[in-house]
Amino acid sequence: MAAENVSENLAMDSGKEMDFSSMKDSIQLRHGNYFILLSLLFFQFVNWILKSHGPPKSLKDDEWKWRNLWVSWFHALITSVWVITSFYRFPEVFADVILHVNYYTFFCACFATGYFTYDLLDVVINNKARAMWEVVIHHILVAGMLYYNVYLKAQIGFSLIAMTVEVNSIFLHWRKLYQMTQVPFSSLKYAIVKYLNLVSFAMFRLFPLAYITYTLFTMYHRVSVVYYILIFITMVCMDLLNTILFWRLVKSDVLRGWASRQGTSARHSSRNGSRKSSTAACNTSSNGNNNSIVNNEPKLPKKEA
């Protein structure tokens, strides 16, 4: 399969174009709608299993947040595998990220649409919308853009590139779950996850979003005005939200640790200095007391000759 795809790419490079219109015509929208519904029900089922199992005893936050994060983690894991295998099986998607589509990549976009719809409903139904307004805005924009692409059966390649952020979400949610179950920040497993989170954030979140933002200025003539306005608004919000999120992570997991080590070192030096001063003072006091004892000794009367 991979060899055939490479051959098709070489053929395209030599001037032979793929018939993208036949790809689009082979996809039926009703299949996508059914799959979105199945995706939504699947995540509701995962939530029910987690609720039946119950949270760990070490949980310090509310149970709903713990379940919500676990459902998000499962979505991130499944979607990451799906997206990576899509790029491996169909590398020709990069030949035209706007028109290329097949059922494998189409259902991937449907699966993600179902998840974001489920999670948005979960947040609203549980009265968390006010406290999690960033999540509400994010999910409305993402779910709306994904379904728009599903409806048009186009821009699926863009959807796949955007969904590579879920590779980072695996570690982002994993880190938060560690915090909720009171895993020590100084532990090795927390340190591994937090650094994998920062590295994957740059590779699979900031870079893909920057690439999509770049295409706004190079492929605008190939999409409708409505789509361009929607994707422009979405990307401005995504770029802003993710830049803020990355800075928060750096402050929490890098700068705070550095400041803590600096503070510990300063306290250690101050403590050592205090000990030395105290020791010197004790020695001085001790010497003074010795001199006082010697000087205050009563003089013996001289023996008379």
pLDDT tens-digit readout, 86-96: 999 999 998 88
pLDDT at 272: 56
Number of domains in the chain: 1
pLDDT at 200: 94
Domain membership flag for residue 160? yes
Range of the domain at 210: 19-257
CB 51 within 8 A of CB 62: no
Q: Where are the beta strands (DSSP E) in the chain?
A: none
> Lowest mean pLDDT: which of 18-32, 49-63, 192-206, 268-282?
268-282
Domain membership flag for residue 175? yes
Domain membership flag for residue 283? no
Q: How confident is the model at residue 150 (pLDDT cuts 50, 70, 90)?
A: very high
Domain membership flag for residue 276? no
pLDDT at 304: 37
Burial of 213 (0-12, 13-18, 19+ CB in 10 A): middle
Q: CA 285, 286, 288, 289 torsion: positive or negative?
A: positive
Q: How confident is the model at residue 39 (pLDDT cuts 50, 70, 90)?
A: very high
What's the whole-model pTM score? 0.77
Domain membership flag for residue 282? no
Mean pLDDT of 234-259: 85
pLDDT at 201: 94
Q: How confident is the model at residue 291 (pLDDT cuts 50, 70, 90)?
A: very low
Domain membership flag for residue 264? no
Domain membership flag for residue 142? yes
Q: How confident is the model at residue 224 (pLDDT cuts 50, 70, 90)?
A: confident
What is the rounded distance in angstroms from the CA atom of residue 23 to the CA atom of residue 13? 19
Mean pLDDT of 104-128: 96
Domain membership flag for residue 2? no
Of the two residues 28 and 267, the one the predictor is more confident about is: 28
What is the rounded distance in angstroms from the CA atom of residue 162 to the CA atom of residue 87? 13
pLDDT at 57: 85
